[in-house]
Amino acid sequence: MADAKLIDGKAFAMGLRQRVGAGVADYVGGGGPKPGLATVLVGADPASQVYVRSKGKLAVELGMASFDRKLPAETTEQELLAVIAELNADPAVNGILVQLPLPKHIDTAKVLLAIDPAKDVDGFHPVNVGRLGSIAPGAPLDFPVPCTPLGVTMLLQDALGHLAGSNAVVVGRSNLVGRPVAQLLLRLDCTVTITHSRTRDLPALCRQADILVVAIGRTEFVRGDWIKPGAAVIDVGINRIPTADGKSRLVGDVAFAEAQKVAGYLTPVPGGVGPMTVACLMYNTLQAARRVAGLPYVAV
């Protein structure tokens, strides 16, 4: 059997960015205001600073406005809630992204709940979680959806075309990845099984999957002989492992070399799902702006 076809998430994400940029130009050209993305960072965690900066920079590259709110680590919950209220009320802001994790003295759930659901471009607000949980099959995604899961289903649709009727197994049940991926696959008429750390005989369940999405954060946990020949395997995991030269490299949750010999389609790590997250954030921001203007949902 031929090796799996690699799903090039980096290339797809670049294409998506370009389509979002074109969508922004179209929207602004039609008289709309620049879509605006606000990022909120509390504290000076270096990794978070890099993420926030790159999101703001990309927004500007795609023709959007970027509003960066950097708050000191000792910001109180009340102060942060006041910033959120201000951004909620600002018509120039279409998307609000609060960089997580927040300092321990701040109740993250309370902060996420305070974001206007229409501006919740991460898709974490309970209103949007509920919308995704109750969406009719095939209905438009006319509300913000979590970025990484959205990226996973975009890659699958691009690789496979129609997903209807496929057996999909999702390994991992986090609110960030596993659950929303499962909801999105259900919307696309897959028959979905969600698995987790208490699942009995996980390898046997995985072997039934036409589509296998793995998001657990365990280095090369899913082995080649867990994979149904020809299946589409999406590896969401990002694990950093040390290398002999004292540096480190990224590996996924799937044993890549083994999976490559069995799967029909496979995402590499890095270069698979990873680049989709920020591209989908831009996509969500454009969609949020279009909704404010009463424009219909478009898949770009």
Is 99 known to be catalytic?
A: yes
Annotated catalytic residue, options 55, 120, 235, 287: 55
Nearest distance, CB of residue 32 and ligand NDP, angstroms = 29
Nearer to ligand NDP, 71 or 100 (CB): 100
Residues in contact with ligand NDP by CB under 6 A are 148, 171-174, 176-178, 195-199, 202, 215-218, 236-239, 273-274, 277
Annotated catalytic residue, options 8, 99, 183, 260: 99
Nearest distance, CB of residue 25 and ligand NDP, angstroms = 26
Nearer to ligand NDP, 75 or 195 (CB): 195
Is 55 known to be catalytic?
A: yes
Nearest distance, CB of residue 85 and ligand NDP, angstroms = 28
In our burial notation (b when 16+ CB lie closer than 10 A, e otherwise), range 242-265 reads: eeeeeeeeebbbbbbebbbebbbb
Burial of 139 (0-12, 13-18, 19+ CB in 10 A): exposed
Annotated catalytic residue, options 120, 122, 210, 253: 122
Nearest distance, CB of residue 194 and ligand NDP, angstroms = 9
In our burial notation (b when 16+ CB lie closer than 10 A, e otherwise), range 2-22 reads: eebebbbbbebbeebbebbbe
Return the HEC string of 21-66: HHHHHHHHHCCCCCCEEEEEEECCCHHHHHHHHHHHHHHHHCCCEE
Is 110 known to be catalytic?
A: no
Residue positions annotated with a catalytic role: 55, 99, 122
